Structure 1
């Protein structure tokens, strides 16, 4: 079970259906800092209604995030009926309000999600989910209006100068805090500050962190069954329970080191480390220090996408920050094909440029793949693995 989430509605937004909304009514779940009900959507021609709409959503973004439900009637903050909304084109309406949110707020809202929940009557409820923003504070800039809104209890309010100063300071410090988490993981892999180690072969360390990780207080019930598996576990894994979370690793080899491990933190993020090369003996002629690019690219895609799958049941979604570092690569060649090796890497450690992305997939992770090749002085071929 999840001890704390930023929203009252359970699970990812795509799992919120009619039954979930009806339980709010049946259980008398009152509005709170992370939940608000609205009977109707504002008229698109109503400027005051649009400003109120933008203020409501940004107040969640500037606080702890939350869910806004349109089509639910409430009295003194407690739901009393679900009359729903009568929309001729729900998909078009969602696009309209998403555009209003993106055009009427600075900076743009990362992680914003809208969902139409249909009811049997043909009417439905519009759910807007706004996670706590990593780039807060956001300002409503609709027309000549320029205001910042926060949230306390079950209502929004206009932020004062001191609150704005604190919000801007926290936003500016966020990149450094995320980088620090990743560098801690790199240091642990380099110095062996873990119950297991990877040995001295070239290694990749990847941290996948939801941008809400440092804006929320979480304590996930991570177990060996729901923790992230290491890269290419070969069917055999060992689990180590730690204060921070759960570490899964491959079986140690003859030298005592493992080939890969993954840590799933109770805070809701992951670190994965695995070997990407070794010294090989080419037909008994000479030893060559070799790194295989496919081993890195496959591992990156595996650990990033699997992190999203593992954390989704806890209601954790993007945007994400992905940070990757290569260590122990000096004097190693990138094996591009059977006939072509790169020049040896001249640096022992390289931190690749970080990514901030909404979804984790092959296309969004491509900049890290490209940077990996450039660490060896090679531009990534269009189709390096003939796939």
Structure 2
């Protein structure tokens, strides 16, 4: 049997479809790199091998930026630095030595300053191998293309076809500029369809007919390339689980269904119910029943609603990151069965309370929130959604923010304060 450090004479069947992209970047090991060699995985639109790291001359930097932007402008991929190749086939691991952390930071700095618009989800990681390290530059497909190389005033665009990068012509650039909005429309269509189904009672677990709050957290990459996340098997291994949109805090049950994985609250008879559906396409849908005093009208209260939404947005983003489902992510806040939903607020004395006018429409959906970093300040990014919802009931802004748009609670993700 051939040594793993030497490539076989011909790629095995299916090798051209293999890559590192199916492995979470933080989980890639030396064994995975050797597997590329032993199974003769050739260079392709999603993988490129480099024996040596990029130099520090201006030409070397431009070459690195061209490689990175070509992946971002096409379908994404990995640049594996520290693997020798011959004719596009990997032949041996050639470990990099020296200060590997400094080299990772150098490459990150070059990419940060040399590509426009900036690639916010580019990741570069070193992998320990015998004798040193390899470096993987993971370039996700961009959904705000095209990106251009601006180092040394080059102002050039690149894309990738097969194993080579090229400069797209005018027609190809036009396609790059117009493709991303089509993906967003698919996401909006999915979310709108889900709101209709929730409103008419087509939910994965039965809910009542009164008002409901709905939160969708949707990764754009899965809607662009049609990927289906293997969430069921991953959850079976003890992975992250999106909790129901339940402000009461009941215990939860879990189930597998046609759409993916479901968690739903279990409370006493008559209690408000909630669920979280983790779809196979990576979208997370959280739904919870609003409070009702008479089983006819529903209401929401500032503290309860905002604390619940903040905590679940943070949780759902962490779930998407754990499954490496990619960026950007769109967040949608909505109300269903909202015709008789009101906002309940305290009067000036702080003793009594008042109800706003009813929303008077079955579905209320505020404009989506765009997220391009899993470490965002959720308080800040969700403020426009809360402002719009409060506008809908006749208020200028959500009263959890002060006049300087600062959050009024020291613990925004807690369910109580």
Q: 1:260 to 1:353 in 2, by over 3 A?
A: same
Instruction: Tell me if 1:231 matches 2:245.
Output: yes
1:74 and 2:85 matched: yes
TM-aligned CA distance change 1:363 to 1:340, over 3 Å: farther
Q: 5+ unaligned residues in a row in structure 1: which ranges? A: 282-286
Q: Alignment partner of 1:223: what SS?
A: helix
1:30 aligns with 2:42: yes
Task: With the length of structure 2 as denominator, give the TM-score of the two structures.
Answer: 0.77
The CA deviation at 1:361 is 5.8
* Offset at residue 290 of structure 1 (A): 3.9
Matches for 1:242-253 after TM superposition, within 5 Å: 242=258, 244-251=259-266
* Corresponding residue number in structure 1 for 2:122: 112
CA distance in 1, matches of 2:124, 2:29: 13
Larger relative contact order (Cα-Cα within 8 Å, sequence gap ≥ 6): 1
Q: Is it true that 1:60 corresponds to 2:80 in the alignment?
A: no
What's the offset of the Cα at 1:57? Answer: 0.8
When the two structures are aligned, how many residues end up with a matched partner? 373
Corresponding residue for residue 342 of structure 2: 331
Shift of 1:196: 4.2
CA distance in 2 between counterparts of 1:187 and 1:251 reads 24
Structure 2 gap segments, 5+ residues each: 1-16, 402-407
In 1: Cα distance, 2:19 partner to 2:382 partner = 32
Number of the residue aligned with 1:203:
212
Which residue number in structure 2 is paired with residue 379 of structure 1?
399
Query: Which residue of 212, 225, 230 maps to 1:216?
Result: 225
Maintained 8 Å contact 2:302/2:400? no
* 1:41 maps onto 2:57 in alignment: no
The alpha-carbon deviation at position 308 of structure 1 amounts to 4.5
Deviation at 1:18, TM superposition (A): 2.8
> For the residues of structure 2 that align with 1:180 and 1:307, how far apart are their CA atoms?
21
The 2-side partners of 1:138 and 1:38 are apart by 22
> In the alignment, which of 134, 152, 156 is matched to residue 125 of structure 1?
134
1:135/1:254 Cα in 2 relative to 1: closer, same or farther (>3 Å)?
Answer: same
Task: Give the drift of 1:112.
Answer: 0.9
Tell me the C-alpha RMSD between the 2 structures.
Answer: 3.4
What is the rounded CA distance, in whole Å, between the counterparts of 2:354 and 2:34 in structure 1?
A: 61
Q: Distance in 1 between matches of 2:294 and 2:303?
A: 17
1:178 aligned onto 2:187: yes
Structure 2 distance, partners of 1:211, 1:339, is 46
Classify 1:114/1:195 alpha carbon distance in 2 versus 1 (closer, same or farther; 3 Å).
closer
1:10 is matched with 22
Alpha-carbon distance in 2 for matches of 1:248, 1:332: 28
Secondary structure class of the residue paired with 1:178: helix
Give CA-to-partner distance per residue, 1:124-182, whole Å, 9 cap, x none: 11211111111112122222322222222222222122221112111233433333322
Paired with 2:312 and 2:319, the residues of 1 have a C-alpha distance of: 10
Q: 2:158, 2:168 within 8 Å by CA — same for their partners in 1?
A: yes
